[in-house]
Every structure is written in C-alpha cells, then in structure tokens.
Amino acid sequence: MAYRSSVDIHTEWDIVAARQLGRNEAKKVGFGTVDQARITTAISELARNIYLYAGAGKIEIERLNEGGLFGIAIIASDEGPGIPDVRKVMEDGYSTSGGLGAGMPGVKRLMDDFRVDTERGKGTKITAIKWLR
C-alpha cells in the first residue's frame, strides 16, 4: 500500500514545510543521510519552481513498496503556465528568472526516475522517484 501526504505551495514558508515533510518521510522509508539530503534538495527545487513560475500548486510525497522494493516519490503539480520547451529547461544553466538554472537538471541527477508532464496554459506535473538500495 502506498502512503501519500502533501503540502500545498502558496508561500515561501510552504517550501520549508514541503522539504521537512519529505525529509521525515525519507527517514521513515529508511534512507541514509546522503539520500535524505538528495530528496530534501529535490523537493526544495520543485517546490520553489512551483512558487516562482506557477504561483501555487502542491507537493505530494508517496512512500513506495513495489514488490519488496521500497522508495519515495515526489509529485510536484501545478496549474501554471506549463513549460513550453522541456528540453531547454533540462539544460544546465537555463533560467528565465536569473537563477542558476540548476533545479530541473539537478533534480534529475539527484533522483532515480524523473518525468515531466506539461501542457501550455494547463500546468505541469513532475514525478521524481528515489529507490532504496
């Protein structure tokens, strides 16, 4: 059975709340300190992107157990403007806000699975998974 919890993202403080939830869930699944840091960092990046580019949205954290394989999924969803060119935002250094442009490519490297579903004018849903080894 998958256990899911979530944090609505409206303000900067919600970014803090989301990553604290993620760290606690990661601990419960049994991740070590390095993976906890990876998961916390990934949530922080995705939550801030929601706050900056979509205004609002939510971060859901799901504990996974697929046939004895344990893991954690981060689902970041919003109903913002969508991402016009996904290939471009996955490039290191690409930013429309004067940021480092490290968030999206970084999350992909920090996690094991990474998927972007986005539609212009409709919103964006990013799913990132880390498996316990």
Ligand X SMILES: Nc1ncnc2c1ncn2[C@@H]1O[C@H](COP(=O)(O)OP(=O)(O)OP(=O)(O)O)[C@@H](O)[C@H]1O
Q: For the chain, what is the largest distance between any 2 Cα atoms, rounded to a whole number of angstroms?
A: 43
In the shown chain, the binding pattern of residues 67 to 106 toward another protein, with x for contact by CB under 8 A and - for none, equals -------------------------x------xx-xx-xx
The tokens of 68 are what?
Answer: 């004895």
User: What is the dihedral angle through the alpha carbons of 67, 58, 96, 86, rounded to the nearest 10 degrees?
Assistant: 40
Sign of CA dihedral 6, 24, 101, 113: negative
Of the candidate spans 5-13, 18-26, 31-39, 46-54, the one that interacts with ligand X by CB under 6 A turns out to be 46-54
| Residue 48 within binding range of another protein, rule CB under 8 A | yes
Q: Which residue has the tokens 């935002």?
A: 89
Residues that bind another protein (CB under 8 A): 12-13, 15-16, 19-20, 33-34, 36-38, 40-41, 44-45, 48, 92, 99-100, 102-103, 105-106, 109-110
